[in-house]
Structure 1
Amino acid sequence: MHRILSPGELLDPRHAVVPFHGRVRELAALARWRDRGDRSSVLLLHGPSGIGKTRLAHHFADDAVRVVDDADLLPWHELLDLLRESTADRARVLLVARRTGWWWSAVRQRAADLDYSAAELEPAARPAEHGMSFASACAHFADALGLPRPTTPPPPADTVHDLHLAALAAVHGSPSDDPVELVRWLADVDQAPPTRGRLAEDVLAVTLLDDRIEPERTRDALDTLLRAAERWPHALRRAEDLFTAHPELAGVATASSLTVLAGRPAPARAIARHVFNDPRFHCDALPAVLTRTLLHDCTGGKSELAELHGMLAARAALAALREEALEAARNEVALYRELVDQDPAEYRPALADALADLGLRLIAVKRDEESLAASEEAVLLCRMIAEDDDDCKPQLAAALDQLGLRYAALGRREEALTATDRAFRLYHELSEHNPALFRLDHAKVAHHLAVRLFDVERRDEAAHAAESAVVRWRAVADADPRYEAEFARTLASIASLLSAFGQREEASVVVRESIDVLRRLAAANPRDFEPELAAALGNLSTVLCRLERPSEALAASEESVLVWRRVARDGDPQAVGELAAALGEQVDGPASQDGEYLPARLAVAEEAVELLRPLATRFPVGHHVEFAVAQARLARLLLRAGHEYGAWRIVDEVLSVERRLPHRVLLSHGGKLASALQLLATALVAAEQEERALRLAEQVAGIWRDLLGHHRGAPMAYATAVHRTAVLMRAVDHPETLTRARLAVLVWHLTRTPDELADEPGYADTLSLYARVCAGIQLGLDQALLLAHEAVMVLRAAKAAPDHFARAVEAVDEVVRAHPDPQAARARAQALVARDWPSSW
């Protein structure tokens, strides 16, 4: 027997006592959104409370659409996690909320980072349908309660909720067209009124019509009051009075509810300090909305307005309101330009700082060239200031350091080095006169200088700069232990640089020092520093492995996994992903070529896959690549262990991963995925599975093609990958082999200069392959002979190993033997050698 619903429950749209009807246009718009495009998408369905958003959303939703009701009430990080957790490759997330504004702008911009498109839809009011809606509601409420159906005409109503409340009252014999009387009637007849939502808000608002009644000050009560204030003017007045008199209540209410007051000058001024200092609201849109209100209410001069625009830009940037932050930063710069025109000496430093901030905001919206122009202007201004005032040299040094970062981001490495070197020299001079004040800045720029020197491959100078940075950072940490954490992170960065450029012994020393520091920090604060300790131990294992010190490398790897297990024991997705990565490093680490350890390595690889499988389902954007890499690793081991059938199943699954990846993720992690797939393709060739290897190799080539212009190593990697696909096509006698071999030659020419190709072994291999393919089908043999000979010359210039060189010579012989006139071809080949390599004759 079904329970009889209370009056409040009868009105709850989730119970659907009154069937959904109408909204044809909105349903069609939602269907178009659901069915459009291949990208994941989030849509905001917004409108006043009671207009029927929830009914519409739940009527429309199916298994392909995830509905989030009251989305504007969720903390920003929960909403972001929800988007990350989308389980569909082409996710559709429908957010339902009463308002738009900056909270939605922040969600939209963060969603774009996850490769979501965004849209919004506002249901229109349908007063022409109110008569039918009222009659339907009366009939269904009467039937549910076993009461007669009333014949009352529909009252005037703003929303579907108001109409349904009037219908429910009419069924009970208490018709009214006064919203206040209807709410009072409901409160009288419902013995268990809801504590949250529209009905609770209306009951509280009507109660507060009596000025003698004070609202409660619990979180739920304050949130209900502030939500009611969106519709009831007297509730808004009461909320303004309460928070203006007691601004500390901002520490009780939630960000979403406080947004109602954030646009009102008096309460905004009162609660601003409490909100700005509350860690709960960091990275939320609320501080930015408050700052915007303070700015619009500001009665000060241009200087104060400029400062407020700068604050707004910073707070908007923290909330991912990048376009809004950019607009505020532009306004700040414009105001300071006007002030500089009035008083250059007073306001040039502030304009320089504002330009530096503008550069950051431009980077956030990927306008790198404009950012560089702002940084260059900031440096120019600082130089002018420093010429007249030595006290402004620190500002010039900071501006040069930032300019170096901008040049580096655009790949202008020499200019980046010049700017950073000038910043270093200035800080060196400043620190000599005042070590305590400039010690930290000097250490930071020393690190940046080492990076810039490594970028231009001045390795000896870079190593010296790295050593100098370590010494200076050590002095910073010794003088002030608060900087020990940053010291450890800098050491880890420098160790990675040294290792990447072949100075592994030095790297091992530096990373060991970072581990010593992190051990101390982790002992005092495990939650914050154990993850960094685990990462540093993993880096040490990698360096030691490259130094061929396997026992030490294995010990570091095992300790890294042990620490990650502690960090991940609560199931945090990021920590679990890091644990899986550490297990993967252990599999590929010091014992990777030792068959004795194969069963243990298989078990570890399987654990990594099983850890990542649920993460790849819940967080496809963040973990699909890691999952695919772990699967590729496991498949290689299964092949090596002779478990072919298990390997084939994994390979077939891995082959589909690229199609499921958002383009942004592919640009960020495609290199890692391509490398893992290439290793698996090589293992498949060894297992005589050339067809599967070819499919993987083509996928690898496609990834590197997409990374051209986004990855430093992509040009050469793409050329090599296309060559590999041609090799595999030849192995399976593919009809497009010649076309692919020709493409491989073309790609080398497009990605490297003639001087670079003159001694490039990979290019020589591609030329030899093309010649062999021509010989095999007896086509274009005269050109093939020239290319085969060129391959020999390139390998000679590269001083290739004898067996490598012999294979290229063998390609020449293949072309000669396939030629219609072998004797003439042999004579031509000898003439080419005599011309290009006379010493051999």
Structure 2
Amino acid sequence: MAAITDGKPWVTVAGAVMGGIGTAFAPTLLDRLKEQDNAREDLGDVVEPLPDVSGPALLLHASRSVVPFEGRERELEDLLAWCGDPQSGRLRLLTGPGGVGKSRLAVELAKRLGPEWGVLEVRDDAETEALSRWRAVDRWQVLIVVDYAETRTGLSALLHEVAADEGRRVRVLLLARSVGEWWRQLGAESARVRQMVAAAGAEGIVLTERVAADKSDHDLVAEAVPYFAAALNVEAPQRFEVELGEGPHRILDLHATALVVVLRSMRSDADAVTVEVEDVLEELLGHERRYWVQTARMQGFHQGVHGLSTLMLEQTVAVGTLLGARDRGQAAEVVGRVPGGTASVVVADWLRELYPPDDDREWLGRLRPDRLAELHVTQKLSDSGELLTACLENLDERQGRHALVTLARAAQELEAAGKILQRLLPLVADDVGSIPAPRETLVALYEVLPYPSLVLAEAHALLAQRILDSTPADAEAGERARWLSSVGAHLAALGSPAEALPAEQEAVTIYRQLAEVYPDRYLPELARSLANLSVRFSELGRPAEALPPTEEAVTIRRQLVEVYPDRYRPDLAHSLTGLGVRFSELGRPAEALPLTEEAVAIYRQLVDAYPDRYRSDLARSLTGLVVNLAEFGRLTEALPVAEEAVAIYRQLVDAYPDRYRSELTHSLTNLGNCFSELGRPAEALPVAEEAVTIRRQLAEVYPDRYRPDLALSLTNLGNCFSELGRLTEALSVAEEAVTIRRQLAEVYPDRYRPDLALSLTNLGVHLSKLGRPAEALPLTEEAVAIYRQLAEVYPDRYRADLAKSLVNLAVRFSELGRPAEALSAAEEGTIIHRQLAEVYPDRYRADLAKSLVNLGIRFSELGRPAEALPAEQEAVAIYRQLAEVYPDRYLPELARSLANSGIDFMELGRLADALLFTEEAITIRRQLAEIYPDPYRADLARSLANLGTIFVGLGRLVEALSADQETVAIYRQLAEIYPDRYRADLVDSLSNLGLTFSELIRSAESEKARQEAERIQDGYRNT
């Protein structure tokens, strides 16, 4: 952002000091300045003067104010009131993506403040002495503007100086593309600075794309066209079309569109021109290129042996923009970096004339606006590895920082820039790197890198570790704790929670000590570090250890919210979401749900106020809410929540694909699970397929990070195929999941053997459904062996998994006609679950009940119903208790155990008892089938079939007939939708119906049922 003036491009000092001051007042101030030459020269070192217009793109520069200011009235009024109120805090933060109008708003603020205000725009590296140099010139009230605040390493020093200033009123306006660690750390400075940051708010003033509520994007473009035409001294085009697509768009893009309309109409004989907003930056670059070529030809650069091609001219501008130069000699060296070029002062002079410097301490200027410059530099460096290498060799410290921060800014929106940085950062962060990068540069680079980012995840970790390693031994403890926590977070993001844990534990220890002495300053940091520590324990499968730090973080943040609600509500919501996850992991859903609901409520309020900032947080908390609702069996409530989360992530992915594609797959997984649990596998399938597609793409680029996620999505997809009766397809994807996890387990056995065991179990289930139990058995045995080994080392974590795998092993033995071995596995699984339930009843009673059901079935298979019945009865008792508290979740399980008890009573000849339990099961299943017909009609049909058999045994044939007819009707409907899955059940039910008709001496109807059963059976065999 250049110096703000009121119409004329003043000389360096006057332009800076006069910013926003009316011309009528100018002579008085100039007289004073003439008396203070030394101070004026010093002040010139810290301001940003106004550049001259060269190429047409500079007409978009905020300081030119080509188009009159409009919109943003609420924000402008807030800033004017802030400057005008002596009691207001001294600091404000203005955030928003590049091109939304932050600089233009600052320009307008300066204009409206009036002649009694001076405006000081601080150049990079001049923050430390900016205010003191101003005060040497003037004690008047001043607005200090700092652009790209997130990259300023001297910002803390400036704010300390502002806090201590006793002159006339001073206000500091920071402009940044986003808040982040840099802003949080300012809030951990000394008490006076901390108060300034707190008064500015957690998010500051956030600018979104929409400028004016009462005007469309088309209106804004149309209104801007005449102003750009006037600036170019041409007649404004009367007819033009603009294709904007979905909006709103950033104001820079809209003004660029208007400028392109004028430029294109100047070169076109058509009655009307058509411009697409997506192409305007590229087209503006085209106009700039023509400007470069024309001026170069005028100087004869295209002639001779060493003539410059168009490509070389483009690369020259890119190099100059990327590196800059402190003097003419360095500028000549810079332009000589272009492949095939030479170090030429003539070319350097040409480049300086194209884009005059903004700063007296710079000799070369740069292409403007910044988004155009970032696009051009990224394109040229991406297109030429030779140019990239040449640009990053033998740089001085200033050039290295300039280049890296420019690329980091570009990486916030251009994935190609992120990939360049990913290649460069090892050279920057390594002690022997070829690019000069002192600690301050690394910190500035870290702050401006987009986060989260798939492309730059390793870069974040590398930078954080390098900064931690370079922390001076005498640095304050909080500085070391900050980077320990950052290192832990980034290592965990790369899939290394075991390495991340010690760093986070050390950070918590430091912050706890600091918070005891300086609670106001360090309690927020302690809460943040505790939340991170909790996540690390959770990632390592240690939920009992994860719970206390999360609870402590929530307690601290509730206290902070009482004092500073605006600042700490987002942090509280984040901790509430995390605490809900911890309770869920511990099998305590009743405690998890209200916490997650509270977090969602907070994020909804925040999204209403700051939609661009908190939508991702809302989506993340909605994802947690889906899980909590599903744990209670409240799937109809969970489904719209899952759909909302997916919708938000889709919007985020459209804007930031690098950041949110992985998050989208998590929400898709939850949505698919909801559809599946609701018995809607046909709707679950495309969702699961989309998740697999995205994760396959991610795994191709980042195999180490995303192959595990791909395996998980393949597992879910296999389950969808299985539910649809597409067993061959289910088998194929399950085999792929096993292959991936075998490979991962060979490299990282501690981390991926549990996942391998789970995939082996699933693959065994799919083979079993295909009638291949002999192939399924060794896979299930391998899963049991893995879990047995893991349970020996980590009993608290893996004994439950071992017990579940033993239940599956019992089923496999049963399918192979080995009931004695099946019973042995079932008994071992039940013993483990009983031990777990004694210690953690809330978490494992349901698993114990499931094991008891399995044990009862195994006894029944051995013809031992008298031993089966107590196990089933115990399961019924547990499920009754659970269903009273969580009816949606456990009524289906209660019905299943009641049905099994009915069968045991039948086998014992106790038909009256069998009837009682079976009718209760049917009552529950009727209720469930009315609400969720797809998942529960089949269960109802099975219970009705059992009821028919019981009635036949009791000689109540008419009632048996009614039950059999209803059974056939249900299976007939199901077989029409899922023929592969339910034809066999339909055949069996028809056979039973025929037998009942026969008992009633209704032979014709009996024969009809028998023939239909045979016809279906023959068709199935032929298929």
TM-score range, shorter chain: 0.3 to 0.5
- TM normalised by structure 1 equals 0.46
- TM normalised by structure 2 equals 0.38
